[in-house]
């Protein structure tokens, strides 16, 4: 049975976009193609985390779990871990 793809949402609200979310959208330039093949990545208008004080932008949701202050390096590590299960 084939494992389902890791579902990823990158917050593109104003705060997230200007604090690094835009850089995360360039994932084709920095993610390992093998990891990328096992992920379904999309941008979303807002993950509503700024309103609840849930950390620092940019926010990323990976299979339902929210991460804050995600850099490109952290994004790579988080997705590698998620893909490996």
pTM reported for the whole predicted model: 0.92
Alpha helices per DSSP H over 1-85: 14-16, 22-24, 27-30, 33-37, 49-52, 72-84
The rounded Cα 78 to chain-centroid distance in angstroms is: 8
The pLDDT assigned to 3 comes to 79
The pLDDT assigned to 72 comes to 96
In sequence order, which residues have a C-beta less than 8 Å from that of residue 75 and are 6 or more positions away?
A: 24, 27, 31, 60
The pLDDT assigned to 53 comes to 76
Which residue ranges make up each domain of the chain? 6-84
The pLDDT assigned to 1 comes to 57
The third-level CATH classification (topology) of the domain covering 6-84 is: Glutaredoxin (3.40.30)
Torsion angles phi and psi, residue 6, rounded to 5: -70, 125
pLDDT along the chain (85 residues), means of 10: 88 96 95 95 93 87 97 97 93
């Amino acid at each position: 049975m084939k494992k389902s793809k890791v579902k990823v949402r990158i917050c593109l609200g104003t705060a997230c976009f200007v604090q690094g979310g835009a850089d995360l959208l360039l994932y084709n330039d920095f993610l390992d193609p093998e990891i990328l093949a096992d992920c379904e990545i999309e941008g979303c208008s807002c993950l509503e985390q700024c309103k609840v004080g849930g950390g620092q932008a940019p926010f990323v949701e990976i299979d339902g779990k929210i991460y804050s202050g995600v850099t490109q390096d952290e994004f790579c590590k988080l997705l590698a871990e998620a893909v490996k299960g």
